[in-house]
Chain A
């Protein structure tokens, strides 16, 4: 399956707030520090959003709403990404999609 890279989703998230996942270096420290131990969170999730994979992000709603927003990832992030706020912005975006689907 081919993926078309687009900034549409990242642009929508930027309008909602300061979505700053673009400075992520993809090092994986956040994933190692996550108390939930989910492989998906947070770097792969942020990558999907940055690549504009809207349907995939919608399919990841359980991971997005599972996040504890505890900032254990941020305390260790060498790039200083505001990961918890980025996840919260993804929730805002998903709530809009939930309402549209009703």
Chain B
């Protein structure tokens, strides 16, 4: 028995309205990676994570919790979960669904990877720390436009307060929200938005790293079909010495990882992820993703058939293996 759609959507919308994120995590915890790198606060160009890599492990844990509740007699009382979430102080149900320390540590590492890659390319960025807010991507997908519009104005005000004119993003969903959705929601919004893959591709020279093996690339639907980011990751991987292999469906015709259905229908999400794992594992054992949702979804479905890693890990490995290139770790 699945939990009622109305109640699960209600919990996510309430969180967005009350706590500024569908699944809030403490701001200090979400930005601790930046303190270690000594990133300056604000400035004309900032890296904006939208907390996606930090939040996604919680979504995975919440859906596993949800699957256990759905299989129990508690499924009949989904409305109570919404009431409990509304009434609870602090972070609501988010902290009940705490992910494993290892999973969290790996995804927390990605923003730091990106800063190191940008620095190596000569691009310095600031950071907004507690003002690096979730953009509302999932709430927007669910149709909570009014709640997201209000939140978007808060994000735009933070950009203005910190003198931000250009934002460099990491994941496709934050890129899409800030670049293609916010201009429709916030009057006068005028911020240049590029993903770090686009920025790195602009700065990439002709140099090629020594061969670093082969890997199958899994395009994010949002990068491929919403934002047109297709060529950049392939060029960067090739420059990093990775032989890029294409699965049965790739590029503009990429196959979804199933992740967008995870928070409401985990079983359907798992079925789609399983199909994608079959396509990817038919080509190679190593797989590159560029979205935290894809990473977690494919990992949950692949078992030992695939080794799935974020593209930033591949790119940083290549930098580290090149003698004389100073990338601090």
Interface residues of A (CB under 8 A from B): 35-36, 61-62, 65-66, 68-72, 74-75, 88-95, 98, 101
Is residue B6 within 8 Å, beta carbon to beta carbon, of the partner chain? Answer: yes
Per the bound structure, the CA–CA distance linking A72 and B250 in Å amounts to 11
A35-B255 in contact (CB<8A)? yes
B13-A68 in contact (CB<8A)? no
B5-A71 in contact (CB<8A)? no
Minimum C-beta distance from A84 to chain B (A): 9
Main secondary structure of the interface of A (DSSP, over half): helix
B143-A35 in contact (CB<8A)? no
Residues of A within 8 A of B140 (CB): 88
Interface residues of B (CB under 8 A from A): 2, 5-6, 9-10, 13, 140-145, 221, 225-226, 252-256, 258, 260-261, 264-265, 268, 272, 275
A70-B9 in contact (CB<8A)? no
Residues of A within 8 A of B253 (CB): 72, 75
Nearest opposing residue in chain B for A96, CB measure: B143
B13-A95 in contact (CB<8A)? yes
Minimum C-beta distance from B23 to chain A (A): 17
Minimum C-beta distance from A77 to chain B (A): 12
A89-B143 in contact (CB<8A)? yes
A95-B142 in contact (CB<8A)? yes
Per the bound structure, the CA–CA distance linking A92 and B144 in Å amounts to 6
Residues of A within 8 A of B275 (CB): 35
Residues of B within 8 A of A94 (CB): 143
Also in contact, A71 and B221, with CB within 8 A (given A65-B264, A98-B9):
yes
Also in contact, A68 and B256, with CB within 8 A (given A74-B225, A98-B6):
yes
List 4 additional contacts besides A65-B265, A69-B260, A72-B253; criterion CB under 8 Å.
A88-B140, A89-B143, A91-B142, A93-B143
Per the bound structure, the CA–CA distance linking A61 and B45 in Å amounts to 42
A62-B143 in contact (CB<8A)? no
Per the bound structure, the CA–CA distance linking A94 and B9 in Å amounts to 11
A75-B225 in contact (CB<8A)? yes
Nearest opposing residue in chain A for B265, CB measure: A66
Also in contact, A70 and B268, with CB within 8 A (given A88-B141, A95-B13):
no
Minimum C-beta distance from A10 to chain B (A): 17
Nearest opposing residue in chain B for A71, CB measure: B225
A75-B252 in contact (CB<8A)? yes
Minimum C-beta distance from A101 to chain B (A): 8
Contact of B221 among A65, A70, A91 (CB under 8 A): A70
List 11 A-B residue pairs with CB atoms under 8 Å apart, sorted by A's residue number. Answer: A35-B272, A62-B265, A66-B261, A69-B221, A70-B225, A72-B255, A75-B252, A89-B143, A93-B143, A95-B13, A95-B142
Residues of B within 8 A of A88 (CB): 140-141, 143
Per the bound structure, the CA–CA distance linking A98 and B82 in Å amounts to 14
Residues of B within 8 A of A72 (CB): 221, 225, 253-256
Per the bound structure, the CA–CA distance linking A12 and B2 in Å amounts to 29
A62-B258 in contact (CB<8A)? no
Residues of B within 8 A of A92 (CB): 143-145
7 residue pairs, one from A and one from B, having the closest CB atoms: A91-B143, A92-B143, A70-B256, A70-B221, A71-B225, A68-B260, A68-B256
Per the bound structure, the CA–CA distance linking A69 and B253 in Å amounts to 14
